[in-house]
Amino acid sequence: MKRIKLVVAYEGTNYCGWQVQPSGVTIEGVLNHTLSQLLGEEIKVTGASRTDSGVHSLGNVAVFDTGTRIPPEKICYALNQRLPADIAVQSSCEVPRDFHPRRCYSEKTYEYRILNRKIPIPTLRRDTYFYYRPLDAAKMQQAAAYVVGRHDFKSFCSIRASVEDTVREILSCTVAKPQEGILTIRVTGTGFLYNMVRILAGTLILVGIGELEPEALPGILEKRDRSAAGPTAPAHGLTMIGIRYVSSETDTMEV
């Protein structure tokens, strides 16, 4: 038996998110089913980021154990032959048997993309959030700087989450000047709470339209109250970009 790590890209539009649900098609479910068919044994993957319904990915990570004799690096090609067009495994490789994609140190990067112009562009409607009121990217960048570091992000956590420790570390958070109408919020951190990036995006949008000042961010964090932050921005603007694992055993594994 060996443990295989997959880097998984997908368009989330047609899925009920990553995690297997009582009903509805999920990325995890499709991977389990397709891997089991391909390898002739029952496979259950463990995902790094359990993305919500409608969220996309360029580099989510999943691992599974298998006795297959297919060379690890070839599994992704065989798998892509069988996967639907909205899921594509970017790479596959062997990792140590004790590697767990959520339990070891990692740096995850997400992007939230906003199409900020007067009129929507049809080809961008699935993976950008169309928002027509003009956003001040410079003010949003000022606000974003306040979330960098180790903070209690309870205000940026869905009230549906049951987690107790709401302290997380954000390594960087940038708001790029719009390119061809798309404003991109890019966040890297060692861990995220449920809906955290989407609530952060919703809050930065309030800053962008002048309803919040950038200097309001520290106060919102201090309140530890979901209602202090902005709304949860829609799922389809969010993309899981990639995960960087750094550990002594596995050395550096970059997505």
Helix (H, G, I), strand (E, B) or coil at 185: strand
Q: Work out which of 239, 240, 242, 243 binds a second copy, going by CB under 8 A.
A: 239
Tell me if 136 contacts a second copy by CB under 8 A: no
Residue 165's contacts (CB-CB under 8 Å, 6 or more residues apart) are none
Tell me how far apart the alpha carbons of residues 255 and 242 are, in angstroms, rounded to a whole number. Answer: 6
Tell me if 32 contacts a second copy by CB under 8 A: no
Size of the site for a second copy (CB under 8 A): 23
Instruction: Give the nearer residue to a second copy in terms of CB position, either 73 or 98.
Output: 73
Tell me if 121 contacts a second copy by CB under 8 A: yes
Tell me if 224 contacts a second copy by CB under 8 A: no
Catalytic residue among 52, 86, 98, 165: 52
The pair of structure tokens assigned to 235 is 């799922």
114 with 129: CB under 8 angstroms?
yes
Instruction: Give the nearer residue to a second copy in terms of CB position, either 114 or 143.
Output: 114
> Quick check: is 52 catalytic?
yes
Helices within the chain (DSSP H only): 27-39, 75-82, 137-145, 196-208, 217-223
Lay out the site mask for a second copy across 48-87 (x = CB under 8 A, - = otherwise): --------x-x-----------------x---x----xxx
Tell me if 125 contacts a second copy by CB under 8 A: yes
46 with 35: CB under 8 angstroms?
no
Tell me if 28 contacts a second copy by CB under 8 A: no
128 with 111: CB under 8 angstroms?
no
Instruction: Give the nearer residue to a second copy in terms of CB position, either 89 or 187.
Output: 89
Cβ-based burial of 164 (10 A; exposed 0-12, middle 13-18, buried ≥19) = exposed
> Which among 193, 200, 191, 196 is positioned nearest to 163, based on CA atoms?
193
Stretch of 65-73, 115-123, 161-169, 188-196 lying at the interface with a second copy (CB under 8 A) = 115-123
Catalytic residues: 52
Interface positions with a second copy (CB under 8 A): 9-11, 56, 58, 76, 80, 85-91, 119-123, 125-127, 239
